[in-house]
């Protein structure tokens, strides 16, 4: 997977989702995303926050990659 997929700027994330990366990280932490399957996290973002699928996947991947650093 290309790093371009999750290596996005705050400006891009805000434009497409209305929140910055730090806000989404907090939301995903509160959801317990680290211990959930990525498809469940994507579905949560889509259903609860109306995040478009592409951006839900991007945010999920970003979150998972940050946890590996």
The yes-or-no verdict on residue 69 having pLDDT over 70 is no
CA pair distance 61, 53, nearest whole angstrom: 12
Taking only the tens place, the pLDDT of each residue in 11-23 is 999 999 999 999 9
Q: Which domain holds residue 25?
A: 9-68
Long-range residue pairs from 40-49, CB within 8 A, at least 24 positions apart, any chain: 49/17
The distance from CA 65 to its chain's CA centroid, rounded to whole angstroms, is: 10
Tell me if 3 is assigned to some domain. Answer: no
pLDDT at 29 over 90: yes
Report the predicted TM-score, pTM, of the whole model to 2 decimal places: 0.88
Tally the domains of the chain. Answer: 1
Going from the C-alpha of 57 to that of each of 19, 42, 50, the distances in angstroms are 15, 6, 13
- The half-sphere exposure of 58 on its side-chain side, counting CA atoms within 13 A, is 20
1 assigned to some structural domain: no
Whole-angstrom Cα distance, residue 49 to residue 29?
A: 15
């Amino acid at each position: 997977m290309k790093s371009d997929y999750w290596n996005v700027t705050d400006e891009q994330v805000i434009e497409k989702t209305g929140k910055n990366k730090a806000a989404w990280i907090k939301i995903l932490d509160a959801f317990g995303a680290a211990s959930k399957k990525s498809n469940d996290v994507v579905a949560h973002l889509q259903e609860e926050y109306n995040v478009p699928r592409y951006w839900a996947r991007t945010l999920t991947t970003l979150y998972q990659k940050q946890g590996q650093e």
